[in-house]
Amino acid sequence: MSQLLRKPDNKIIAEGVTLVHEVTKENSELVYVGFKILDLEPHAVYKETLTDLELCIVALTGKITVTDGQESYKEIGTRHSVFERIPTDSVYISHNKSLKITANTKARVALCYAPSDQELPTKFIKASDNGIENRGKYNNKRLVHNILPDSNPSANSLLVVEVITETANWSSYPPHKHDQDNLPEESFLEESYYHEINPQQGFIFQRVYTDDRSLDETMAVENGDMVLVPKGYHPVGVPDGYTSYYLNVMAGPTRIWKFNNDKDHEWIIHRP
């Protein structure tokens, strides 16, 4: 199996807590991006102490309470399904802090990590704080929820965004990359994609490739899978009849999203 495609692990790590995915620098090619998906039963509790990592907690579905030992945010989360097309609540917590997540209902939670060496205030990112964009035209249409964009100074490294791509459309398209630490032309940002699909029996395709094709993988991605992007272009194609959701986490040496399109395909954005 591809080293970039991750299937759910579904490991029980505490009473009522299932670790669905875990991506670390120890088990992947990614150095800057870390990620977990947790499934929590009602009243289940997850605890963690951050050292040299910052964290954005995204309440994907259900309601949770988050505390960092000083601040507490109660019953956050806005939806039963990621396909409701509304933003959700998130919490940013800096390094050197401890956190506790308590499930008020059955919940799925994303934990998005990046290296951090500057302590910042804990911040509640309300659903209403998300920037909402409709990107693309023709068959490249998608809905974007900007949870933690580079215009938001609340993090050291993390960038977090949700994207819904409608049926029979492409996303992250035309293919683009951000794998060169060469600002202002391009920034180096690793990326992870956590995917859900509606209806759940569907699949999408994601290709990850470089100009020299030293990396070139095309993956059939099913509901709940992840795709890791250490470098290269990374377009997503959604078959007819299905809708795609993905949560992106990006991080790198500089917290700027500056990308370049694949020159062979950039012409499509200039069509009338």
Q: Count of domains in the chain?
A: 1
The bridge status of strand 45-49 relative to strand 98-103 is antiparallel
Nearest to 93 by CA among 160, 27, 38, 10: 160
Name the residue range of residue 135's domain.
5-270
Q: Is the pLDDT of residue 111 over 80?
A: yes
Q: Are 193 and 248 in contact (CB under 8 A)?
A: yes
Report how far apart, in Å, the C-alpha atoms of 124 and of each of 56, 67, 68, 91, 148 are: 10, 10, 11, 5, 11
CATH of the domain at 236: 2.60.120.10
Q: How confident is the model at residue 137 (pLDDT cuts 50, 70, 90)?
A: confident
Q: Is the pLDDT of residue 1 over 70?
A: no
Residues 141-198: pLDDT tens digits? 999 999 999 999 889 999 999 999 999 999 999 999 999 999 999 999 999 999 999 9
Q: Is the pLDDT of residue 251 over 80?
A: yes
Phi, psi of 270 (to 5 degrees): -100, 5
CA dist 139 and 5 (Å) reads 25
Q: Is the pLDDT of residue 87 over 70?
A: yes
What per-residue confidence (pLDDT) applies to 120? 94
Nearest to 206 by CA among 191, 223, 227: 227
Q: Is the pLDDT of residue 101 over 70?
A: yes
Q: Compute the average pLDDT of residues 229-238.
A: 98
Q: Which of 1-5, 88-92, 115-119, 215-219 has the lowest mean pLDDT?
A: 1-5
Q: Is the pLDDT of residue 244 over 70?
A: yes
Residues 61-76: pLDDT tens digits? 999 999 998 999 999 9
Q: Is the pLDDT of residue 270 over 90?
A: no
CB contact burial 231-264 (16+ within 10 A = b; e otherwise): bbbbbbbbeeebbbbbbbbbbbeebebbebbbee
Nearest to 108 by CA among 149, 71, 66, 59: 59
pTM recorded for the entire structure: 0.97
